[in-house]
Amino acid sequence: MLYAQCYMIILLIFLTRTVFGVDEQTTASTVISTSATSTENSFQNIDAGTLAKAINIPTCESNCTEMLLTKLYGILELKDIFDQWKNLCTEYNQSTACMEQPNHCSHGEIYRILTSGIHYLCIRKEMFFDKNRDCIQPNLDQGAQECDRSCKMIQSIADLSRKPSVQDAAQKGGNIITVVTELGGVCSAANCFLPCFRERMNKKCPRSGGMIVDGILKPFYILAKFLENATPLVTNIVDEKMPRSCSFLVKRESLDSIRQQPV
């Protein structure tokens, strides 16, 4: 229910396409608009078009998820997050219906992993957020913005989009491996942001911060479990290509620590 969820999903796309061996040589599709209004954070500095091209989401998946990714990108502005999230939940239902069509060309299981956090927050916890809307809605933007000022999460995404290697990958049709190797700053910011946000929201609206962070981390728990049982070849690829600052996202003990550690 906040912008960290947006980029965590994009990060997991990088990892699952590498780990599960999804074809990297696919038709590039720019699925996110590059227009952005001026804000108090670094949202306007994100080159979303470059990121979309560098990630190179397959056309098959983008046909169903284009609007979902656009809604996720909008949350990065850190304004009206609650209302934007409700709109995203509606879009998630539509994307899921598209992906579940008979004989669809995409990898449905990967989609379910990537969106497991959205499903958790939009479907399983919908009643909780609706019931506590009067508390959560006015505090959500403030909590995210305060933690972003401390952790520079949005700026780390902007920095990633401006890296010469990422821009070069975008110009050449996309290269997932290149982008993965440049994720260190984003992961460091996420490791700061998640416990910060959890603590602030829990103080304002009991249980809300923990529940949101649980949703954000859900796909990473699935990935961590997969890697625990993966072959040495797969784990070696992840160890070699993924920055050290991202390793906490694929280790269950580290994920547990984010959920539980005091700030």
Q: What is the DSSP letter of 100?
A: T
Per-residue model confidence (pLDDT) at position 237: 80
pTM of the model: 0.80
Per-residue model confidence (pLDDT) at position 258: 86
Q: Which two tokens stand for residue 186?
A: 């984003």
Per-residue model confidence (pLDDT) at position 107: 64
Range 97-108 average pLDDT: 78
Range 141-150 average pLDDT: 92
Range 242-257 average pLDDT: 89
Range 171-180 average pLDDT: 86
Q: How far apart, in whole angstroms, are the C-alpha atoms of residue 238 and residue 21?
A: 12
Q: Provide the angle, in degrees to the nearest 10, between the axes of the packed helices 184-204 and 208-228.
A: 140
Range 131-157 average pLDDT: 93
Which band of pLDDT confidence, cut at 50, 70 and 90, is reported for residue 261?
low
Task: Write the DSSP assignment of 35-79 as a string of letters.
Answer: -----SSSGGG--HHHHHHHHT--HHHHHHHHHHHHHHHHHTT-S
